[in-house]
């Protein structure tokens, strides 16, 4: 029966899972990103202990549920792109370890901070929460940025992986730019969220931090674009690829070309999108909407916070994150992880996936359960709508 489902052929399933992986990563950035950002700006927006408790109570009820998006993304990579999972968790082992250690600090910090009413004790855990917000955002950005430069891995004829790089190799200029961009994205998003959920002095400081972070976002996003255009050679598939063929990356040929990523962004990726989804209804140049969303969202969201439009500001900030991440993803297409050591070992959407049956079963599960997760998340945020105020925190401490 599956053979009759033309729209679910192997090629379409691979492309669908590339889209889904992108949506899961964007979902993680938007949903878990704001609580990473809130933790990162804690000492900037809250100067007194009670203000810090207000800030933390805006995310304590939701941060754990938000990590579902991280688990979904990692699970999707493991099941849909096993070769990508194997290379990423080998090459990024130290980086991933640092990010996970930092993420573990979050529940520990929330759990222990208020156990003792001692300024030094609470100050230590406050800084632990700051680390738990800053480190994952920066590390994820550095890792993503290094994809554009290629990673030093290769496959032998038996598909065994060899990785010849180290953690310090990831800390190159472009990787640091991308890490900084990811961090200020989370800082702006978290500050916008605080602008929506708090009032008074905390809200005012959050608006100021959001404005500064939005400005830095624009600068770093532009710098990253210029670096990709003129400082990094892009990877381009030149032959041997079969979108419905076997998952063997060694069958294709790849070259590195000047402005290769720009040609991917403006050409191959969107030509395929048009062919699959839009036919002749979409014209060339529509892809520029994505970076435009990134720039405009970073510019508009902090201003909306200042005018007291917290909900609209959060939407604008989310659209900015969507635009920036989607811009990077489309520019990389069809690559998932290019190899600088052996070009043909580069992993693409078309030669690094699981079997057709696996992708089909996973797609059915995603169609059934992902909407339920979205609906439940919306329900939780509706129940928790409204601002967290100083008086509420005082009443909570008094037992009212």
83-126 pLDDT per residue, tens: 999 998 888 889 999 999 999 999 999 889 888 888 899 999 99
pLDDT of 360 > 80? The answer is yes
- Do residues 196 and 310 lie in contact, with contact meaning Cβ atoms separated by under 8 Å? yes
**Model pLDDT, residue 267:** 62
- Do residues 300 and 309 lie in contact, with contact meaning Cβ atoms separated by under 8 Å? no
Question: What integer is the mean pLDDT of 57-80?
Answer: 89
**Model pLDDT, residue 115:** 87
Question: Count of domains in the chain?
Answer: 1
Residue 275 CA to residue 288 CA, distance in Å, equals 18
pLDDT of 227 > 50? The answer is yes
pLDDT of 58 > 60? The answer is yes
Question: What integer is the mean pLDDT of 28-38?
Answer: 93
Task: List all residues 6 or more positions away from 141 whose beta carbon is below 8 Å from its beta carbon.
Answer: 178, 179, 180, 181, 182, 183, 185
Structure letter (DSSP) for residue 277: I
Least trusted range by pLDDT, from 1-10, 207-216, 298-307, 358-367: 1-10
**Residue 368 exposed, middle or buried by CB count within 10 Å (0-12, 13-18, 19+):** exposed
Instruction: Reduce the DSSP state of residue 26 to 3 states and report it.
Output: helix
Question: What integer is the mean pLDDT of 223-234?
Answer: 88
Domain that holds residue 32: 2-398
Instruction: Reduce the DSSP state of residue 352 to 3 states and report it.
Output: coil
CA 149 to chain centre: 18
pLDDT of 2 > 50? The answer is no
Tell me how crowded residue 237 is: count the other CB atoms within 10 A of its CB: 20
Beta bridge partners of 163: 153
Which of 260, 272, 268 lies closest to 230 in space, CA to CA? 260
**Model pLDDT, residue 158:** 87
Residue 352 CA to residue 248 CA, distance in Å, equals 7
Least trusted range by pLDDT, from 163-177, 229-243, 281-295: 281-295
Q: Across the chain, what does the average pLDDT equal? A: 88
Give the tokens for residue 192: 């916008």
Residue 72 CA to residue 319 CA, distance in Å, equals 21
Least trusted range by pLDDT, from 141-155, 239-253, 266-280, 288-302: 266-280
Please name the residue ranges forming H helices in 231-279.
260-263, 269-273
124-141 pLDDT per residue, tens: 999 999 999 999 999 999
**Model pLDDT, residue 266:** 66
Residue 301 CA to residue 37 CA, distance in Å, equals 15
Beta bridge partners of 339: 151
pLDDT of 220 > 60? The answer is yes
- Do residues 244 and 355 lie in contact, with contact meaning Cβ atoms separated by under 8 Å? no
Q: What is the pTM of this model?
A: 0.90
**Model pLDDT, residue 233:** 86
Residue 95 CA to residue 99 CA, distance in Å, equals 6
Give the tokens for residue 230: 């003129």
What is the share, in percent, of the chain residues with pLDDT greater than 70?
Answer: 92
What spatial distance separates the first Cα and last Cα of the chain, rounded to whole Å? 61
pLDDT of 397 > 70? The answer is no
């Amino acid at each position: 029966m599956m053979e009759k489902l033309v729209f679910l052929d192997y090629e379409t399933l691979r492309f669908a899972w590339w889209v889904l992986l992108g949506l899961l990563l964007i979902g993680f950035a938007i949903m878990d990103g704001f609580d990473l950002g809130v933790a990162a700006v804690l000492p900037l927006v809250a100067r007194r202990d009670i203000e810090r408790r207000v800030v933390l109570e805006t995310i304590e009820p939701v941060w754990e549920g938000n990590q579902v998006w991280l688990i979904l993304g990692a699970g999707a990579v493991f099941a849909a792109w096993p070769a990508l999972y194997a290379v990423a968790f080998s090459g990024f082992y130290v980086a991933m370890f640092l990010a996970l250690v930092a993420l573990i600090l979050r529940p520990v910090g929330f759990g222990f901070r208020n156990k003792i009413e001692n300024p030094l004790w609470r100050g230590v855990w406050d800084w632990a929460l700051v680390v738990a917000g800053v480190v994952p955002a920066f590390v994820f950005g550095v890792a993503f940025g290094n994809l554009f430069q290629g990673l030093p891995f290769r496959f032998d004829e038996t598909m065994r992986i060899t990785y010849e790089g180290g953690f310090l190799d990831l800390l190159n200029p472009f990787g640091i730019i991308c890490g900084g961009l990811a961090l200020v994205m989370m800082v702006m998003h978290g500050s916008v969220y605080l602008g929506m959920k708090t009032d008074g002095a905390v809200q005012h400081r959050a608006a100021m931090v959001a404005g500064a972070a939005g400005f830095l976002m624009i600068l770093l996003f532009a710098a990253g674009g210029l670096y990709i255009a003129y400082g990094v050679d892009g990877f381009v598939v030149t032959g041997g690829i079969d979108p419905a063929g076997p998952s063997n990356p060694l069958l294709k040929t790849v070259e590195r070309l000047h402005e290769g990523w720009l040609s991917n962004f403006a050409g191959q990726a969107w030509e395929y999108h048009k062919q699959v989804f839009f036919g002749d209804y979409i014209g060339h140049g529509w892809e520029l909407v994505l970076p435009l969303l990134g720039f405009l969202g970073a510019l508009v969201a902090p201003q909306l916070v200042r005018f007291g439009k917290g909900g609209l500001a959060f939407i604008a900030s989310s659209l900015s994150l969507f635009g920036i991440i989607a811009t990077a993803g489309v520019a990389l297409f069809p690559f998932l992880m290019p190899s600088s050591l052996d070009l043909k070992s580069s992993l693409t959407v078309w030669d690094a996936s699981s079997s057709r049956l696996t992708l089909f079963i996973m797609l059915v599960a995603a169609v059934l359960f992902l909407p339920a997760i979205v609906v439940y998340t919306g329900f939780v945020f509706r129940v928790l709508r409204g601002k967290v105020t100083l008086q509420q925190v005082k009443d909570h401490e008094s037992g009212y």
